[in-house]
Amino acid sequence: MPKRELLLGDEALALGALHAGLSGVFAYPGTPSTEITEYIQSHPLAAERNIHRSWSSNEKTAMEEALGMSFVGKRAMVCMKHVGLNVAADAFVNSGMTGAHGGLVVVVADDPSMHSSQNEQDSRFYGEFAFIPTFEPATQQEAYDMVQHAFELSERFQIPVLMRLTTRMAHSRAVVEIGEARKENPLSYPQSARQWVLMPGNSRVRYRSLIEDRARLEQEAVESPFNRYDEGPDKRLGIIASGIAYNYLMENYPEGCPYPVLKISQYPLPKELVRHLAETCGELLIIEEGQPFIEQAVRGVLPALMKIRGRLTGELPRTGELTPDSVRTALGLAPHRAHAASQIVVPRPPALCQGCGHRDMYTALTEVVREFPDGKVFSDIGCYTLGWLAPFHAIDTCVDMGASITMAIGAAHAGQHPALAVIGDSTFTHSGMTGLLDAVNEGANITVVISDNLTTGMTGGQDSAGTGRLEQICAGIGVDPAHIRVVVPLPKNREEMKRILREEIAYHGVSVIIPRRECIQTAKRHAAAKNR
């Protein structure tokens, strides 16, 4: 009997990659993708083979590191959340142009419904845009099997492959049948060396071959074991369901779906299969998790020859993740009989932990900012974004990784004073350092608070790239050491923190204040490990 394990989608994918002969995983933490890298970090096979598995500074450096490993013939994987792909986009789009040598799989976990993100972008658009074939598993077993298939395809076509997960796939467990581990690749070098130097003359040649490969990749998708055409007796309706949406469809037909169904888990979109379904059926219903990627491709702009229903026509919700219930409604089935919702339940939003250093930082900061008629606080991505909520109401913006410092610069140039930036230590090394260099070069009058908890807290306490070196980094960038101030954010130090904040706001130029105290969650974990 094959070995069976209960695994998260993230973990099944990670194990599939290990078993595919992975030589390195490159990633920056981001919900819902973090557990892929963490699983590899804790797996004995990774230690035995000494697979590269430490965190990168950000998604772009991770993507480029993986591309370098692929160049020398080994199998590499990059993992990130959907907005991380924006950070890695330059490297990602151009990796389609260079192609891959050793298998290169880029895993991107999308977060429809924005459980833990600032938008619901759908990474399949990036795959299409960069001419990179894309996979989208529907089950944990597929995640395990598919990543091995993806590495093989990547090497056969010498191109990176995108694996798109969504929150419910990433963070749901199921029983997975496990196979054997393949060996790692030996070092080797690309045959087509020219295309790795993206000078215009080389790029123009490569671009034509990339477009030609697209047709062959589409044929792969037509014949893919992960795309399936299931006949159904009732031809009034044909259904296209991609990735995890297929599960919600089948949940509503325990005895089998009466309509023909095209399940799609591999792209480019297999147009031949879509046309066959359309010729067979009277109407189409398109069910997909995320944005209407397939629906837009099938529908186009001009009046359609047939009725097409989906997220764009309102049968399915235009935003947010699908549920078995929203799919049920779109299928025209009567809702299940359910209890009425309780009227006494109130929301219970997440909050900064009691005893967290960010709390002490915000208490001091808000008291000082209130002393000015129009103080503005530009903040960033991390636990400290919760400072927008009660009781602090401390921040005015949160946009993308690193935008606190740069937005403060722009506002200061427009005459804003005080212009404060609040950023965490890990976000600072991810994307804040270049902004700080701008501030120094431009002589911007801003006050930067790097709230240092010595970890990447929001995603569960992963290593932070600049731990122990933040003052050196800021001084190296050119901040005057007299205006790099370190303080321990504790209630007893509140007056000291306020004094430092006032002094640095009064200083005309770039100052950096570093309130530093370990995240209480990682501190508890470290204490428990010591006592064992």
The nearest distance, CB 463 to other proteins, in angstroms, is 17
CB 183 within 8 A of CB 102: no
CB 116 within 8 A of CB 381: no
The nearest distance, CB 149 to other proteins, in angstroms, is 22
The nearest distance, CB 392 to other proteins, in angstroms, is 14
Per-residue DSSP letter, 429? I
Beta-bridged to residue 490, according to DSSP, are none
User: Nearer to other proteins by C-beta: 140 or 406?
Assistant: 140
User: Nearer to other proteins by C-beta: 137 or 489?
Assistant: 137
* Token pair in block for residue 255: 């005895």
Sheet containing 228-230: give its strands across.
228-230, 261-264, 237-242, 283-287, 307-309
The nearest distance, CB 172 to other proteins, in angstroms, is 4
Could you tell me where the DSSP H helices lie in 59-123? 59-71, 82-87, 89-98
Q: From CA 203, how far away is CA 206, in angstroms rounded?
A: 5
Q: From CA 526, how far away is CA 532, in angstroms rounded?
A: 10
User: Nearer to other proteins by C-beta: 386 or 411?
Assistant: 386
The nearest distance, CB 388 to other proteins, in angstroms, is 13
The nearest distance, CB 340 to other proteins, in angstroms, is 7
User: Nearer to other proteins by C-beta: 50 or 342?
Assistant: 342
In terms of Cα–Cα distance, which of 45, 36, 31 is closest to 14? 36
The nearest distance, CB 426 to other proteins, in angstroms, is 14
In terms of Cα–Cα distance, which of 288, 293, 230, 233 is closest to 262? 230
**Which residues lie near other proteins (CB under 8 A)?**
4, 6, 8, 31-32, 34-35, 115-116, 168-169, 171-175, 244, 247-252, 323-325, 328, 335-342, 344-353, 383, 386, 457-460, 521
* Token pair in block for residue 277: 């379904």
User: Nearer to other proteins by C-beta: 158 or 459?
Assistant: 459
Could you tell me where the DSSP H helices lie in 224-323? 245-251, 271-280, 293-299
The nearest distance, CB 103 to other proteins, in angstroms, is 28
User: Nearer to other proteins by C-beta: 215 or 340?
Assistant: 340
Burial of 299 (0-12, 13-18, 19+ CB in 10 A): middle
Cα-to-chain-centroid distance, residue 139: 19
User: Nearer to other proteins by C-beta: 41 or 252?
Assistant: 252
DSSP one-letter string for 398-416: --STTHHHHHHHHHHHTT-
User: Nearer to other proteins by C-beta: 361 or 484?
Assistant: 361
